A = this chain, B = another copy of it.
Amino acid sequence: MSILVVGSVAYDTVETPFGRAERVLGGSASFFSVAASFFTPVNLVGVVGDDFGEAQLAAFRGRPIDVLGLERMAGKTFHWQGKYSYDLNSRDTICTDLNVFEFFQPKIPARYRGSEVVFLGNIDPVLQRGVLEQVESPRIVACDTMNFWIHGKAEELRRTLAKTQVLLVNDAEARDLSGEWNLVKAARAIRAMGPRTIVIKKGEHGVLMFDGEEAFAAPAFPLETVFDPTGAGDTFAGGFLGYLAGSPSADGPALRRAIVMGSTLASFCVEAFSLDRLLTLSRPEIDERYRRFHDLTVFEPV
């Protein structure tokens, strides 16, 4: 069962208290694709400039990631630069050079159109809907968004959400989108906009999922060293949806396993800059940490 991801492929320059990485591979679709590829074939749609070389593409090679949909445009690749505070809990964006990404018009190759799971990365909700018009009848449509669209394109975002089964956002975005501070109320308000499943990412505090009237809470894996949080949310989304796409069902128990799998992948992502840790990761390591997630949370009835 293949998954289609539409999002950014970028260069990141990242400064953390532990070091600096200059123009390394980043972008939501990059993190997502590599994470999802552990579970299912991935069809990647994005855009890069003519400065994006074989060295960067190498991250996707040797994995079930189809890059036919990664368009190359004259110009420079999207570049984001950020700096994290000493506790890694906040970051300042130093620059966002959209470059070719400003002109991104997702074109879905014919052989991607039967993808059964679609992930609409954080792009203009008009473009997100354009993607849905180019695919046949996906089993699951999931989307991400951000405050820029919540405030700037509220109506368009509502139209996209009406066609979406799963929304992945962070807690601040859930509050902004719903106008509710309380996350239980926020999730209910968002469900009324279309998505049945609301996944609220809380960073170091884990994930809350509301699936219909059912709630599921998973902690973040307590790591001794968080090196660089960049891409953790997209890696979570890739592990979550990749696992679901590779799973025979998307019922409640499968959604829960997928949340923990996403959290597992994200816990590796933050151990190094860029996709460095994801690229050395093996399935046994993933399964071992998933088991440790279980050990971390399990308790008996009274």
Name A's B-contacting residues (CB within 8 A): 86-87, 181-185, 202, 205-206, 208, 214-219, 222-226, 243, 253, 256-257, 259-261, 287, 290-291, 294-302
Contact = CB atoms under 8 A, between A and B. Distances in A.
Nearest to A259: B299
A215 B182 contact: no
A287 B299 contact: no
Secondary structure at the A interface, as helix, strand, loop or mixed, is: mixed
A205 B171 CA distance: 12
Contact of A182 (B202, B225, B259, B300): B225
B185 A299 contact: no
B296 A217 contact: yes
A182 B219 contact: no
B302 A257 contact: yes
A226 B182 CA distance: 8
Contacts of A298: 256
Nearest to A293: B299
Contacts of A215: 222, 296
Given A87-B181, A181-B86, A205-B205, A299 B222 contact: no
A156 to B, nearest CB: 29
A184 B223 contact: yes
A294 B256 CA distance: 13
A202 B217 CA distance: 14
Contact of A222 (B184, B253, B291, B296): B184
18 contacts: A182-B226, A184-B223, A184-B224, A202-B205, A205-B205, A206-B206, A206-B217, A208-B219, A215-B222, A216-B296, A216-B297, A218-B299, A256-B299, A257-B300, A260-B299, A287-B302, A290-B302, A291-B301
